[in-house]
Structure 1
Amino acid sequence: MINFNGDLLPSTSFFLNQENRGLRYGDALFETIRVVNSKIFFWEEHYLRLMASMRILRMDIPMDFTMEYLESEIKKTLEANTMEDKAVRVRLGVHREGGGLYLPESGSVAYIIETRELDSPFYMLGGEPYTVELFKDHWVNSGLLSTLKTNNRLINVLASVYAEENGYENCLLINEKKNVVEAINGNIFLVRGNIIKTPPQEDGCINGILRKQLLKILSKLEEYTVEEASVSPFELQKADELFITNTITGIRPVTNYRKKQFRTDISRDLLGKLNMHVRLEGGK
């Protein structure tokens, strides 16, 4: 079952038409949310990011679009799919209502909630090889719009196809200044010695929820120095570790980039701290 504007419909329903602005123009946003036993991880952060993104895109925010209302709709959808006691990936999509060409006829919105079961209630560290490569065919534009989770994800799609065709598990995206910005499906962190570095949002990386949580964790650890600064492709070869973060998988260590093989010691340490952080703060 899916939730469309509060109505529960079979997942096979045809409830959108050719006027959908998310389909026509990418005039839509989405949040990918991890839920375990009906506990929504980092719900306040997801909600605030969604509201801020809707304002940036000049969408009208309905009066009933409160944290409490959307949380209840998510849980209603979980219950309809008998997923209240499971680990679940939830996609909350918001699109501007149909009508108009580039200029919308209105700013009113509709929403869709989808669910998919996950393998584990915990963030797990995969032990299999994980190789990445730079995707250089197209680049992410630095600036505010690139930090939003909009439906304009064509670069991510093409990079995914490139990775599949060439035997890579993921690709790293670059901006117009040739700085490394992020992975296909998450933010990136480099480790060299005790310095942990991640690209700044000004370079065009997604304003990731897990990125924010990890920076919060690292700010309390005296053994590491954190830098938010541009990352050159040349730095990848010099890093001791490289890992990718997103809300669904947590921390995904990269094992290989070209001839470079990375360690995973700090990734493992941080994953344990992340799971503890989730138990303490994830549902707030």
Structure 2
Amino acid sequence: MKNAILASSIISFFTSVVISFFASVIFQTAHAEEAGKLSLETGMDYNTGKYGGSQSTDILYVPFTTKYQGKEWTLRLTVPYIQITGPASIISVMNGVPLTGAAASNTPVTRSGMGDVIAAATHNAYNGGSEGLIVNLTGKVKLGTASSSQGLGTGKNDYAFQSDLYQVKGSYTTFGNFGYRIYGSPAGYTLNNIFYGSLGESYKFNQETSGGMMLDVGQKVISTGSPIVETIFFVNHKLDKTWKAQGYFLKGFTNGVPNFGLGASINHAI
């Protein structure tokens, strides 16, 4: 008999996207001349958690992202590599849940391969300038390209729609988002579509460096699971006119998210 362990963001995908996009907005506000440029980004994310079980599941996620930053539109395409070490019964669901079959083996194994391709488009609906309100609307599609037979994904597509708001006041920026995610359910499972959101604050230390924290929350993906509650501390640094770097640390507070996570990325404008 199949059952679900927990509701979870086993790779907290939406968190990494929010942080990356937030960094972009902060720098774009101060450097409007970057509009119309193409950039490449890569990095590494690692997180670990038990998700209410007795054994840990460790995730290594390496995204390769191409981004086009226009005056009003930002387009992103991410092709990731993913490695999962944990019970053989776990199925990784990007933006979703780790699922298991009760009869499946709990012996730790390592699986790896191409992850789920993610495409996103963001429209700048309102821009109040360097000291005003910024409102963006974003649509995201997670394609089920990861191998479901290896437990790297469900093989189903997911969709998300969200609004992002930023208010700049001097060296401080308050930001948040609110969205709705639609899941494709694999055979034998029913995943709930959920509302999710985040709220955070960033401080600009100088023209090159900013840092801050944010709180992410989300509904249960499955009725027997846990809600998403996690906090992220991050720092962004502009190395020069074409290079940017970013790092973050994540702490989860429920069984619906990793216990800990950390990551770093580098972005180069072409």
Higher helix content, 1 or 2: 1
TM-score normalised per structure 2: 0.25
TM-score, with length taken from structure 1:
0.24
